[in-house]
Amino acid sequence: MEELKKNIVNKITGHFADAAVKAYDGNRVDFTVKKETIPAILFYLKDEMGYNHLSHISCVDWIEEKEFELIFILWSYTDHIKVFVHTRIDRENPVMDNIDMIWRQANTYEREIKEMYGIHFEGLEAPEEFLLEDWQDMPPMRRDFDTEAYARKTFWDRREARADAQDVRETITKRTGEELPDVAKKYTR
Amino acid sequence: MREKATTLYLGPQHPGITGNMMVRLKVEGDTVVKAVTEVGYLHRAFEKLAEQRNWLQTFTLMCRFCVPEPDPVEESYARAVETLEGREVPERAKYIRVLVLELARLGSYMLWYGGQAGSLGLYTIGQWSVGDRNYILDLFEELTGGRVYHMYIWPGGVRRDLPAGFEEKVLKTMDYMEQRLKDYEDLMFDNAIFRKRTQGVGIIEPEKAIEHGVVGPPLRGCGIKHDVRIDEPYEVYDKLDFEVPTEDGCDIWARANVRRREMHQSIRIIRQVIDQMPKGEFYNKIPNPQKWRLPQGDAYERTEAIRGEVGMYVASDGTEKPRRVHFRGAAYVHAVTLLEHVLVGENIADVSAIMNSLGTCPPEIER
């Protein structure tokens, strides 16, 4: 295992000068690269190193640092090692290279990340909406999206959300004008 | 005269569809020429909610990601948090987790039997298997208090120990299941209709399978032997003796056979787990959840569910709340790009059978 990990670290750092390595115990290796290197390093890992299973693509919003982090998690069926490829992109102008020609299923992840974080993948072939419908607001998975304000704005005609200290019986009495039965009065606050 | 293509909307309300989703088909005659998966009927924003809750409150959301088989999701989350924190899990808890996971696998395969047979018009099997699944749900009810959502496998171990006499009940249920499985198999796999409708239908070429990220029984139905339980053994799977069945057909028949054989392996695992289970602690207590801070960093852990590999990515910024919790479902890959690829050239009547054989599960696509 350690041999294999050393081998992959040597090969990647030899080929990609900007790849920063972070070591972990067990079967995990992490690389952090510039966003321009992403398609090249993924192609290399898949075609040359046998990391042919794309397990996951995730996105994290580091709003304090004004950056989005994209994480590509690959798995090798022969080496049994997990490789994480991290990259950071500017939050103000989030543009990224599309990688769905390497793995077809990356298309689904990119469509979701595009909607949820507003990251533009150049050349992504998926014009249609994926999860959201007619969404005009800020991409909802961004940290500065205020869920409560959105709910108040969108569902303004619904009754107030259930506050923790609210008594259901009192609310019903107020709404219907009915008198509470004596049995129930005993339990109201 | 050339036939004109028609658009056919399969779902979201359709008895053959596997949940709240839609497949927009372009058909010429009976043949599908284009398929597009449309989702968006079920989004519950669990991942957004998780960012506003602490690590323990997030755990209660995790099982809701997938309705038929919630335990592998809990397991992935619990293990990801443990990896991030470096928390040890007692040996007994590991065995109990495997027991729960395999019972869940068996229960979900029962539900799959119903779906797969029902999609081809064989309704009796579904009525039998969903009825028998209740015996497994009874076990879950006794163990965890819940029948469908268990909220049982949590960071640090499991929530409570096995009740008195539980092992005997499990073994008794397993004996019953083993005998019942024969009935299902006679009814389904000896049935000429089932054989004719599934052989050569919904083919995934082995070289396309890896490229499309296929996992689980559909991958093993292509003759490729990959299973997270043996590739990256978690809990105590490396101490247990079981086989990972594969078939070469690449069609629905092959996938159904993989699942049929896996059910027997699950029973075998459950018996071994009961036999080998050590005594001792079942929970490594976490600190006060309101003040429970996880170190900065991220982790990704995978578990084998009936649909294939499910994973959980968690990222922490060092506070009491997760920065990001991101679930990877097998159906996320199977039901969108792969399904759109496989359905082309198939018959309309086979669409729902193919969806069932790929383990389509919309709650996993939109969390």
The pLDDT tens digits for A113-128 are 988 898 988 888 776 7
Q: What is the rounded distance in angstroms from the CA atom of residue A49 to the CA atom of residue A41?
A: 10
Q: Which of B173, B201, B182 is nearest to B125 (CA)?
A: B182
Query: Would you call A89 helix, strand, or coil by DSSP?
Result: strand
Which residue of B lies nearest to A71 if distances are taken between CA atoms? B313
Q: What are phi and psi of B25, to 5 degrees?
A: -105, 140
CA distance A149 to A141: 14
Which of chain B's residues have a Cβ under 8 Å away from the Cβ of A108?
332-333, 336-337
In Å, how far from its chain's centre is CA A104?
18
Among partner residues A69, A131, A140, which is closest to B366 by beta-carbon distance?
A: A131
Using the structure block, give the residue that is written with the tokens 């060092």.
Answer: B318
**Smallest CA–CA distance from B232 into chain A, residue:** A80
Hunting for tokens 């170190």 — which residue is that?
B295
Q: Which of A52, A58, A131 sits opposite B326 (nearest CB)?
A: A58
Say which CATH architecture domain A2-158 belongs to: 2-Layer Sandwich (3.30)
Low-confidence ranges of chain B (pLDDT < 70): 1-3
Taking CA atoms, B24 is separated from B128, B332, B356, in Å, by: 32, 17, 17
Within chain A, what is the greatest distance between any pair of CA atoms?
81
Contact (CB, 8 A) for A106 and A72: no
Say which residue the tokens 């990801």 belong to. Answer: B80
Residue contacts between A and B (CB atoms, under 8 Å): 83
User: Is the CB of A104 inside 8 Å of chain B's CB atoms?
Assistant: yes
| Closest Cβ opposite residue A103 in set B211, B309, B326 | B211
Distance from CA of B190 to the nearest CA of A (A): 35
Return d(Cα B344, Cα B180) in angstroms, integer: 36
Nearest-by-Cβ selection for A104 from B47, B48, B211: B211
Q: Is the pLDDT confidence value at A167 over 60?
A: yes
Work out the minimum CA distance from B215 to partner chain A, whole angstroms: 9
In this model, does residue A165 exceed pLDDT 70?
no
- Contact state of A132 with B336 under an 8 Å Cβ cutoff: no
How far is it, in rounded angstroms, from Cα B266 to Cα B104? 10
A143 contacts B338? CB cut-off 8 A: no
* A180 pLDDT more than 80: no
| Spatial separation of the C-alpha atoms in residues B304 and B231, rounded to whole Å | 10
With an 8 Å Cβ cutoff, is A78 touching chain B? no
Domains annotated on chain B, with CATH: 6-365 (1.10.645.10)
- From A103's Cα to the closest Cα of chain B, the distance in A is 6
Report pLDDT for B284: 85
- B313 burial (CB, 10 Å; 0-12 / 13-18 / 19+) is buried
Domain extents in chain A: 2-158, 159-189
Q: Are B84 and B316 in contact (CB under 8 A)?
A: yes
d(CA A86, CA A38): 9
> CA–CA separation, B246 vs B218, rounded Å?
10
Q: Contact at 8 Å (CB) between B328 and B313?
A: yes
Of A54, A104, A132, the CB nearest to B40: A132
For residue A25, name the pLDDT band (cuts at 50, 70, 90): confident
Backbone angles phi, psi at B66, to 5 degrees: -135, 120
- B interface with A, Cβ–Cβ below 8 Å: 36, 39-40, 43, 45, 47-48, 51-52, 210-213, 226, 231-232, 298, 300, 302, 309, 311, 313, 315, 323-324, 326, 328, 332-333, 336-338, 341, 366
pLDDT band of A156, cuts 50, 70, 90: confident
Residue B110's nearest CA partner among B134, B129, B137 is: B129
* Confidence band, pLDDT 50/70/90 cuts, at residue A57: very high
- Gap between the Cα atoms of B43 and B107, Å rounded: 25
Q: Strand order in A82-90's β-sheet?
A: A20-23, A28-33, A82-90, A67-75, A53-62
What is the dihedral sign for C-alpha B14, B16, B22, B24? negative
Residue of A86, A136, A141 lying closest to A119 (CA atoms): A141
Tokens describing residue B254: 């092959």
DSSP assigned state of B242: -
**Residue B292 buriedness (CB in 10 A; 0-12 / 13-18 / 19+):** middle
A133 contact residues in B (CB cutoff 8 A): 40
CA distance B161 to B173: 19
Helix (H) or strand (E) holding B104: helix B91-118
Q: What is the structure's pLDDT at A148?
A: 82
The pLDDT score that the predictor gives to residue A163 is 55
- Sign of the torsion formed by the C-alpha atoms of B314, A131, B17 and B140: positive
Structure tokens at B220: 């093993």
Q: According to the model, what pLDDT value does residue A122 have?
A: 87
Mean pLDDT of A30-53: 89
Q: With the C-alpha atoms ordered B194, B199, B200, B204, is the resulting torsion angle positive or negative?
A: positive
Q: Is the pLDDT of residue A162 over 80?
A: no
Q: How many residues does chain A have?
A: 189
pLDDT(A189) > 60: no
